[in-house]
Amino acid sequence: MEFFIQQLVAGLTSGAIYACVALGLVMIFVSTDHINFAQGEMAMFATYLAWAMIDAGVPFWLAFILTIVIAFAGGLFIQRVILKPLEAAPVLSLVVCFIALLSFFNALAGMIWSFTIKQFPSPFPPRDVFGNGLVSIQQIGVVAVTLIMLGILTVFFRYTTLGLAMRAAAQNPASARLMGVRVSWMLALGWGLAAAIGAVAGMLVAPIVFLDPNMMTGILVYGFASALVGGIGNPMGAVAGGFIVGVLENLVGSYVIGNELKLTFALAVVVGVLLLKPAGIFGRVIVRRV
């Protein structure tokens, strides 16, 4: 039983990480209708910036906030400078650009900070909550931050004009433009927010998996899976998807199929879910008029 609970908690912790990454993906998808393959590497790069600041003596929380701000500006910049000229290009050309960004950030981080792992300080003490090795404050912290971000995003998209404008810009740019929404800037804003969420995800992940330029490659795959399971247009779904994938993977790995195939199994489940619910568990099927 204790083992079960431990695996469950470990699953929830990794689930929270996947959820964070998935949130960034959802953010860009909701605001630009694209899937950003460079999401993980952008997060990694932002985390390195935070690390460099902390290493230079900046207090943790100041570095944390500064990194979010820089990441936001960076995301904005990428959209305005690199992607805006390609607004009319085919979707796959954009995908290639995302892949290019991925290689670029990965190689650049490797050049500046080397590929050796670095320790990233955790904002949470590594202590136990109950003193029996079941649940650590770190784990609760990661889950809490994820849920807080989800809350902020939900409120933002549902109850603010800006959020509504962003959704409109993504789903129907022509009509939105007619309604006076500055579509192009909304897209940029989406990128900025996604980059900021990514930075938070990166800083949450780094204390657990250690900081290196390839830190997010494995996690991004799980992030995709989570976003798919939950429905890629839905922040709530992405977070739920993250927890589902994280827990499932750990329980299946330890009880059913062994570790070699746990990722494969988790992915099979994702595809299975999609077959039953093609827009994800929490996604809505959008009916398009012909």
Partner 1 sequence: MKLTRRTALLGGAGISIISRAGRAEKKYSTGVTDTEIKVGQTMPYSGNASAYGVAGRNQAAYFRMLNETQGGINGRKINFISLDDGYSPPKTVELARQLVERDQVFCLFYPLGTQTNTAIHKYMNQKKVPQLFVASGASKWGDPKEFPWTMGWQPDYHTEGSIYGKHILTTKPDAKIGILRQNDDMGVDYMSGFREGLTEKVKKNVVAEVSYEATDPTVDSQILQLRNSGADVFFEITTPKFAAQAIKKVAEIGWKPVHYLVSVAASVGAVMRPAGVENGQGIITAQYLKDVTDPKWDDEPDVKEWRAFMAKWNPAANVLEGSNVSSYAAVHGFVHVLKQCGDELTRENLMRQAANIKDLTVPLMLPGVKVNTSPTDFYPLQSLQMARFEGDHWVLFGEMLSLDNKA
Partner 2 sequence: MAAITDSWATRGRPGWIVILFWGLLAALPLAGLFTNDPSFDYYMFMGQAMLINAIAILGLNLLIGFNGQISLGHSAFFAVGAYTAAILMNFAGFPYWTTLPIAAVICFGAGFLFGFPALKLEGHYLALATFTLAIAVPQLLKYKLIAPWTGGVGGLILDKPDPPEVLKLSPDQYLYYLCLVVAMLAFWIVRNMLRGRSGRAMMAIRDHAMAAATMGINTARYKTVTFGISAGITGVAGALSGITVAYVAPDSFTLQLAVSFLVGLVVGGIASLPGCIVGGAFIVLIQNSSQSISDWMKVTFSLRYDVPAWAIYGVLLILLMYFMPRGIMGGIETLWLRVTNRKEASS
Binding site for partner 2 (CB under 8 A): 29, 35, 82, 85-86, 88-90, 92-97, 99-108, 110-111, 221, 224-225, 227-228, 232, 260-261, 263-264, 267-268, 270-271, 274-275, 278-279, 290
Q: Which is nearer to partner 1, 130 or 159 (CB)?
A: 130
CA distance 212 to 139: 21
Q: Which is nearer to partner 2, 19 or 270 (CB)?
A: 270
CA distance 240 to 235: 9
Q: Which is nearer to partner 1, 192 or 223 (CB)?
A: 223
Q: Which is nearer to partner 1, 115 or 182 (CB)?
A: 115
Residues that bind partner 1 (CB under 8 A): 3, 6-7, 10-11, 13-14, 17, 106-107, 110, 114-119, 126, 133, 136, 205, 208-210, 212-214, 217-219, 221-222, 249-250, 253-254, 258-260, 263
> Residue 73: which of partner 1, partner 2, none does it interact with, CB under 5 to 8 A by kind?
none
- List Cβ<8 Å contacts ≥24 apart for 48-57: 48/109, 48/112, 48/113, 48/211, 50/120, 50/199, 50/202, 50/203, 51/113, 51/118, 51/120, 51/206, 51/211, 52/113, 54/120, 54/121
Q: How far is the CB of 258 from partner 1 (least distance, A)?
A: 8
CA distance 233 to 236: 9
Query: Quick one: CA dihedral 202, 116, 221, 170, positive or negative?
Result: positive
> Residue 125: which of partner 1, partner 2, none does it interact with, CB under 5 to 8 A by kind?
none
